[in-house]
Amino acid sequence: MTDPVVMANTLSKWYGAVIGLNGFNLEIGKGITGIVGPNGSGKSTLFKLVTGTIKPNSGTLLVMGQRPWKNPQQLSKIGFCPDYDFLPPDLTGREYLSFSGGLHGMQGTSLDSRIEEVLAVVEMKGAADRKMGGYSKGMRQRMKIAGSLIHDPELLLLDEPLTGTDPMVRREIIELVRHLHKDHGHDIVVSSHVLHEIERMTHQVALIYKGRAVASGDISEIRRLMSDHPHDIVLEGTEMLALARLLLDKKFTVSLELSPDRRTLHVKVSQPEEFFDEVPDLIKESGSTLERMESLDDDLESVFRYLVRW
Amino acid sequence: MGLDPIRYKPWNGQRTEHAKRFLVITDHVFRQKLRSKWLLGIIILGSILVWVFPIIIFSLTPHDSLTTEVMLETLQNGLLFIFVLIAASLVCADLISEDLRGNSLVLYLYRALRPERYLLGKVLGALLVLSLFTFIPPIALGVAVMATQTGPDYLASMEVIGRTIIAAVLTTIFFVPVGVMLSSFTTKRTYAAVGIFMFFFTMTIVAGIFSESDINWQLLGPGNLLNYWYDIIFSEPLPQGLSLAGMALMTFVLIVPPVIVTYWRILSKGVGK
Amino acid sequence: MRTQLHTTGLLTLTWFSAKKLIVHRRWVIALLIAILVGAVMGYFATEVEEGITAASDLLNILVLFFFMPILALIYGASMIRNEIDDRSITQVLTSPMDRRLSYLGYYFALALVLALLLIMVTTIGWACFFAVKGFDAAALELLLGYLLTVCIGALVYSALFLVFGVVLRHPIYLGLFYVFIWEDFVGSIPGAAENYTIRHHLLVVASTWIDYGDVATVSGSAGISAMVLFGITVALLAIGSWAFWNKEVP
C-alpha cells in the first residue's frame, strides 16, 4: 500500500477562542480526494496547515512524509489554489504566471514554454495578455489553478474552486480537475461544501464537521458502514402491493410505505446487499413490473446529514 | 404570493424624525472610537503629559486666581499640537475611508439619510471624541486652578474659563475638516492617517522655512495659527506685522473648503450608485 | 539547484515588488512631494542672498528631516502588511523560497524604489534652487553628497519600517510615533538622547561629505555612526526575516 499523501494525527489548530481543527485524524491517498464540509468546518484550515502558512497547535501533520511548517522545500511539490481572490489586478495573466514560475526558480525559455503549456491546459491562452482586473470569476479561477500548476507539482490543493462560478464554468472546472489527474497524473485534494459537485469529481471523500473528520473513504463504503441507519429505497411500477406483502416477511425490511396510487413503494432496509440480492426473485414471485428503483440516500448529502445529525 | 400574512409583522414602534437620524451615526462613531486601544492610549498619554502635570503644578503652586498666562502656557505647548494632530489623524482617518472601502457609503445613502446629514453625523462623532482631549481637560485645568485659588476674584477666573471654552472649541474643530477630507480620498485608513499628518506637518515646515522673510508666512503653520488665535482669545498682543485678515483667511481655508470637498466626494461616491 | 531556485526567486520577487511599488498610485505622492520641494526651494532661492548654505539647510529640513522618513514609512510599513491583508502574499508564502530570503527580496525592492524616489525629490529640489542661483561645481558636490546620504537613509529606514509592517497589524501608527515623536521630539533634546535616533547618525556620516549648512557642523565620529547604521540595518533585517519566518498567515 502506498504511503498516504497527507496524514493528520490528532491534529488541532485554534485561533484564540475559535477552533479550526479539533483532534483531526485523516489519511489522504493518491488520486482525487474530496474534502467536504459546511462553512467553518475546517477545510481551509486544513489546507493552510498542509501548505505551511500556519502551524498546528498540537498533533502531527505529514505531507508526503514531511512536516510542512517551516519546510519551504516541500512547496516545490505542492500547488495551492486558495478559495479567496489574491490575483493582482494590475498584472496580466502571463505576467502573473511568470511571477509564480520565477518564485519556483523557473526562468528563461523553459518558463516561457511552461507558461504556454499551462495556459493551454486551463484554456486561457486568449486572455493571457489582458490585465487580470478585467477577468470574470471563471477566468480568475482558471488563472489561480494555472498559477498552482506552473511548477508541475505532485500534489494539487484546490480550496473551493467552484465557489461563485456559474454552472457552465463549474462543469468546465470539474472536467479540468478530472483531466489533471487522469492525463497529467497530479494527486488532487479538492474541497467544497457543495456535495453533489464533489461527487462528480471523485468518490474518495473525507467529511469534516466542526473541525473533526467524521468519515473518510469511498462514498459507498461509508454508506455501507452506517449499518444502524436503514437505507431508503424507492420502487415504482405495477403490483407494488403484492411486492410489499412479500417484503414484509423479510427480516431486512425495517418499514414500508405505499403511495395512495399503489404505484410507488418506499422501503427502508437494514441490509441493502441482501435486499438487492433478493429483489429480482421477489418481483418475479409477486408478478409485479418494476419501472424504477432508486436508493434515495446513497449520496453524499444523505451520508453527511446522517453523520452530523442534520 | 407576496408577503406571508402570518409571519410578517410591520414594525409599529416609534420612528425618529429624519432630521435626528444623523445622531445615530454620531453615536456609532463615538462608541467605535472609544473601543480603539490606540486612540485611548494616545488620549490618556497626551492627557497625562499635556494636562495632568499642569493641573497638579498650577493647582499646588500658590495663586490668587486663574490667569490667562496659565492657560496660554498649556495651550501653546508644542506637545499639545502634536497630540491633537495624532488624535485627529486616528479619529478622522477611517471616518469616510472605511465606508468607501466596504461600499457601505451607498448603503447609508439608500436609507432616509441625506449626504449632508451623513457628513454631519460623522463630523460630530469625531468632534465628540476629540473633545475628550481638547475640550474637557482644559476646562478641568481651569476649574482645578480656580478651585484652589487663594484670592476672592472668582469672576475673573470664570472669565478665563469662558475664554478657555472658546479656545477649546476652536482646537477641537480645527483639524477635523481636513482630516475628514483626506479620509474621503482613499479607501485605506492608514494612508489617510499618514496624509493628515503629512499635510499639517508639511505646512508647518514650509511656514518655518519662509517665516524669516515675512512673519505672515507663519500663518501657513497650523500650530502657529492656533497659537495666534489663542493670543487673540486671551487678549494677548500679536507680533507686529501679523495680518488678521491672513489669519482669518487661513482659518477659513482649513475649515470651509475641506468640508465642501468632502461633501462633493460623498455625492460623487455615494449618490446615484 | 537550491541556489538557482533562491537566486531566481529572489530576483523575481525583488523585480515584481519594485514594479508594484512604482506602478501603484503612491508614486503620485512622491511626485507631489517633489513638486512641493521644488517649489519651496525655488521660491526660497529668490528670497535669500546666500546660496549653497541655504540650499543645504533646506535639503536637510525638507528631505532628510521630513520627507525621507515619511516616504519610507508610507512605502515600507505598508509593503508586506498590505500583501498580508489582501492575501496576495499567498504566492510568496507557498513558494519553495525560504521565507527569510523572501523578506530580503521585499527589502531590496523597497530600498531600491525608495532610493530612486528620494533621488528624484532631492534632484528636483536642488535643480529648482540652483536654477535661480546658478549651477557650479560646489552645487554639484552638494547634490552628490545629499544623494549619497538619501541612499544610505533609504537602506536604513527601509529596514526599520519593513519590520514594523511584518510585526504589527497597524504599523503606520508606530511609524508616525517614531518619526514625529521619537526622531523629532526626543532627538532634539540636547544630550545623549539623539544618539538613539537614526537621523543623528545619518547626519554625522553625511557631515563628512557635505561641507555646507547645518549638516556640516554636526559633530560625532563618522566611523562609529556608519557602524551604528550598518549594525541597525543588519539587526532590523535579521529581526524582520526571523519574524517573517515565524509568522503565521491565516
pLDDT at A1: 54
pLDDT, residue C42, reads 95
Measuring CA to CA, which residue among C17, C178, C21 is closest to residue C104? C17
Chain B to chain C Cβ contacts (< 8 Å): 52
Contact criterion met (CB below 8 Å) for A40 and A15: no
- Mean pLDDT confidence for C156-173: 93
What does the pLDDT read at residue C49?
84
Q: How far apart are the CA of C186 and the nearest CA of chain A, in angstroms? A: 37
Nearest CA of chain C to the CA of A102: how many Å? 5
Please report which confidence band the pLDDT of residue A300 belongs to, taking 50, 70 and 90 as the band edges. Answer: low
Q: Cite the DSSP H helix spans in chain B.
A: 22-34, 37-46, 53-60, 68-75, 78-92, 97-101, 104-110, 115-134, 136-147, 154-174, 176-183, 189-210, 222-233, 244-270
Query: What does the pLDDT read at residue B47?
Result: 94
Q: How far apart are CA A148 and CA B118, in angstroms?
A: 45
pLDDT of residue C228: 97
pLDDT of residue C199: 94
Return the H-helix or E-strand segment holding A67.
none
Alpha-carbon distance of B125 to B22, in angstroms, equals: 10
Q: If DSSP codes are grouped into helix, strand and coil, which group holds residue A143? A: helix
Q: Is the pLDDT of residue B1 over 60?
A: no
Instruction: Nearest chain C residue to A151 by CA: give it.
Output: C95
How much is the pLDDT for A277?
87
C205-211 mean pLDDT: 95
3-state class (DSSP) for residue A37? coil
Distance of residue C52 Cα from the nearest chain B Cα, in angstroms: 15
Cα gap B254→B82, rounded to integer Å: 17
Taking residues A215-237, what's their average pLDDT?
80
Cβ–Cβ below 8 Å for A54 and C249: yes
- Strand A289-295 and strand A6-15: pairing? unpaired
Interface contact flag, B89 C176, Cβ < 8 Å:
yes
Alpha helices in B10-114 (DSSP H): 22-34, 37-46, 53-60, 68-75, 78-92, 97-101, 104-110
Say if the Cβ atoms of C93 and A106 lie within 8 Å. no
Q: State the Rg of chain B over Cα.
A: 22
A20-61 pLDDT per residue, tens: 999 999 999 999 999 998 888 999 999 999 999 999 999 999
Q: Give residue A226's pLDDT.
A: 65
Weakest mean pLDDT among A284-293, B16-25, B26-35, B99-108: B16-25
Contact residues for A70 (Cβ-Cβ < 8 A; gap 6+) = A52, A55, C245
Residue A270 has pLDDT above 90, yes or no: no
Structural domains counted in chain B = 1
Tally of CA atoms within 13 A in the half-sphere of A147 that contains its CB: 32
Picking from C58, C177, C185, the nearest residue to B209 by CB comes out as: C58
CA dist C71 to A278, C104, C126, C206, Å? 81, 19, 18, 19
Asked if residue A244 has pLDDT above 70, the reply is yes
Q: What's the mean pLDDT in A206-220?
A: 89
Residue C233 has pLDDT above 60, yes or no: yes
Domain for residue B11, yes or no?
no
Site of grid cell 550598518: C230
C-beta of residue B178 within 8 angstroms of C-beta of residue B172: no
The mean pLDDT of B73-90, rounded to a whole number, is: 90
Largest CA distance in chain A: 76
B3-7, B236-240, C29-33: least confidently modelled range: B3-7
Q: Chain C contact for B30, CB < 8 A?
A: no
A192: which strand partners? Answer: A36
Distance between CA atoms of residues C239 and C228, nearest Å: 16
A148 grid coordinates: 498552482
Residue B265 lies in a domain: yes
pLDDT above 90 for C163: yes
d(CA B74, CA B70): 7
pLDDT of residue C184: 82
Does residue B166 register a pLDDT over 90?
yes
Distance (Å, rounded) from C-alpha A199 to C-alpha C20?
Answer: 41
pLDDT tens-digit series, residues B230-245: 999 999 999 999 999 9
Q: Give the separation between CA C32 and CA C70, rounded to whole angstroms.
A: 13
**Fold type of domain A6-219:** Rossmann fold (3.40.50)
H helix intervals, chain A: 43-50, 93-103, 108-121, 137-149, 167-184, 195-201, 219-225, 240-248, 272-286, 300-307
Tell if the CB–CB gap between C12 and A99 is shorter than 8 Å. Answer: yes
Written in H, E and C, the secondary structure of chain C is CHHHHHHHHHHHHHHHHHHHHHHCCHHHHHHHHHHHHHHHHHHHHHHCCCCHHHHHHHHHHHHHHHHHHHHHHHHHHHHHHHHHHHCCCHHHHCCCCCHHHHHHHHHHHHHHHHHHHHHHHHHHHHHHHHHHHCCCHHHHHHHHHHHHHHHHHHHHHHHHHHHHHHHCCCHHHHHHHHHHHHHCCHHHCCCHHHHHCHHHHHHHHHCCCCCCCHHHHCCCCHHHHHHHHHHHHHHHHHHHHHHHHHCCCC
Closest to A81 in 3D by CA, of A166, A147, A164 = A147
Determine contact, residues B217/B225, Cβ cutoff 8 Å.
no
**A276: pLDDT strictly greater than 90:** no
- The answer to whether chain A touches chain C by having 3 or more C-beta pairs less than 8 angstroms apart is yes
Contact between chains at B205 and C62 (C-beta distance less than 8 A): yes
Q: What is the ipTM of this complex?
A: 0.90
Enter the DSSP assignment of A221: H
Number of H helices, E strands in chain A: 10, 13
Task: Supply the DSSP symbol for A261.
Answer: T
Nearest to A296 by CA among A262, A257, A260: A257
The domain ranges of chain A are 6-219, 226-307
Residue A170 CA to residue A221 CA, distance in Å, equals 27
pLDDT number for residue A222: 75
Q: What are A117-136's pLDDT values in tens digits?
A: 999 999 999 999 999 999 99
Of B38, B198, B205, the CB nearest to C173: B38
For residue A87, list chain C residues with Cβ-Cβ distance below 8 A: 88
pLDDT at residue number C154: 98
Nearest-angstrom CA–CA distance, A250 and B199: 87
Rounded distance between C-alpha atoms, residue C113 and residue C1, angstroms: 30
Closest CA to C125 of B221, B205, B213, B192: B205
Show residues of chain C in contact with A54, CB under 8 Å.
Answer: 248-250
Quick one: pLDDT at residue A298?
Answer: 62
Chain segment B113-165, per-residue pLDDT in tens: 889 999 999 999 999 999 999 999 999 999 999 999 999 999 999 999 999 99
CA-CA distance, C214 to C216, in Å (whole number)? 5
> What order do you get walking across the sheet with A253-258 strand by strand?
A253-258, A264-269, A231-238, A289-295
Residue C117's pLDDT band (cuts 50, 70, 90): very high
Does the distance separating the beta carbons of C88 and A86 come in below 8 Å? yes
Residue A55 has its nearest CB partner, among C87, C92, C248, at C248
Q: Which residues of chain B have a CB within 8 Å of the CB of C66?
A: 201-202, 205
Q: How confident is the model at residue A309 (pLDDT cuts 50, 70, 90)?
A: low
Rounded average pLDDT over A177-182: 92
Residues C200/C219, Cβ–Cβ less than 8 Å: no
Q: Which of A215-224, B77-86, B200-209, B211-220 has the lowest mean pLDDT?
A: A215-224
* Cβ <8 Å between B191 and C74: yes
Are B178 and B208 in contact by the 8 Å Cβ rule? The answer is no
Asked, for residue B232, whether it belongs to a domain, the answer is: yes
pLDDT of residue C91: 94
**pLDDT higher for C65 or A166?**
C65
Contact C161, C77 (CB under 8 A): yes
**Between residues C188 and A198, the one the model is more confident about:** A198
Partners for A (CB, 8 Å, 3+ pairs)? C
Question: Which amino acid appears at position C204 of this protein?
Answer: V
Q: pLDDT band for position C244 (50/70/90)?
A: very high
C-alpha cell at position B4: 406571508
Is residue B222 within 8 A of residue B204, CB to CB? The reply is yes
Residue C176 banded pLDDT, cuts 50, 70, 90: confident
Chain A to chain C Cβ contacts (< 8 Å): 82
**Residue C23 scores a pLDDT above 90:** no
Write the CATH number of the domain with boundaries A226-307. 3.30.70.100
Calculate what percentage of chain C has a pLDDT beyond 90. Answer: 78
**Domain with B213 in it:** 19-270
The SS3 call for residue A207 is strand
What's the mean per-residue pLDDT of chain B?
A: 91
Residue C98 has pLDDT above 80, yes or no: yes
Q: In the prediction, which pLDDT does B250 show? A: 96
User: The pTM is what?
Assistant: 0.84
Distance between CA atoms of C17 and C108, rounded to whole angstroms? 9
Residues C161 and C73: beta-carbon distance below 8 Å: yes
Report residue C200 as a C-alpha cell.
543623528
Distance CA A93, CA A225 (A): 47
Range name among A73-82, A161-170, B169-178 with the lowest pLDDT average: A161-170
